[in-house]
């Protein structure tokens, strides 16, 4: 077998928590480190470590590193060979984005707004649609999955 390139420290779900270059005397494969992570050997060079780490995990059943989709949102954790997250945390992100869009259009509703009454009404409709987004968002895995209302021209 070729020489060890990396020491991968794996949590109980298979997520790679720490990567260290192999050198000198290395811990025994399948031993536990001080954090309770299992040490696995990896024998190949990885060009883009950040990308590789986000798209791979250790499958304890198969005994190999396996490809996966990248983390879909900042709240996602790897559990049972799948990404999972608290939907309420993700919905809070949707509300934050919605609030930003509302703030950016506040000027359209002021008494001193330069818009015509017709344009003001279009913007009011847009803002109502923004307020309704969290209640109508459905099942999403990222804020990028939200269909946002179109701003008036």
- Return the domain boundaries, the chain: 6-79, 86-145
Q: How confident is the model at residue 24, as a pLDDT?
A: 87
Average pLDDT over residues 119-148: 95
Higher-pLDDT residue of 1, 49: 49
CB–CB of 61/72 below 8 Å?
A: no
Average pLDDT over residues 56-84: 94
What does pTM read for this prediction?
Answer: 0.70
**pLDDT tens digits for range 100-112:** 999 999 999 999 9
Higher-pLDDT residue of 9, 24: 9
- The 10 Å Cβ neighbour count of residue 8 is 21
pLDDT exceeds cutoff 90 at 63? yes
- The 10 Å Cβ neighbour count of residue 126 is 19
Alpha-carbon separation of residue 97 from 53, 67, 100, 137, 146 (angstroms): 28, 31, 5, 13, 10
CB–CB of 146/90 below 8 Å?
A: no
DSSP state of 120: H
Q: How confident is the model at residue 149, as a pLDDT?
A: 97
Over its C-alpha atoms, the chain yields an Rg (Å, rounded) of 24
**pLDDT tens digits for range 18-31:** 999 998 899 999 99
Specify the residue for token string 């997250």. 85
């Amino acid at each position: 077998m070729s020489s060890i390139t990396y020491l991968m420290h794996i949590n109980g779900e298979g997520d790679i928590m720490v990567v260290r270059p192999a050198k000198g005397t290395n811990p025994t494969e399948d031993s536990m480190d001080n954090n309770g992570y299992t040490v696995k050997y990896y024998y190949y060079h990885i060009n883009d470590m950040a990308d590789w780490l986000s798209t791979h995990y250790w499958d304890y059943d198969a005994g190999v590193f396996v490809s996966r989709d990248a983390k879909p949102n900042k709240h996602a954790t790897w559990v049972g060979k799948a990404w999972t997250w608290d939907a309420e945390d993700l919905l809070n992100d949707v509300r934050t984005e919605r609030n930003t869009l509302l703030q950016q259009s506040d000027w359209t509703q002021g008494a001193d707004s330069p818009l015509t009454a017709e344009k003001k009404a279009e913007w009011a409709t847009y803002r109502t649609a923004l307020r309704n987004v969290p209640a109508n968002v459905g099942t999403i895995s990222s804020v990028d999955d939200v269909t946002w209302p179109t701003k008036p021209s």
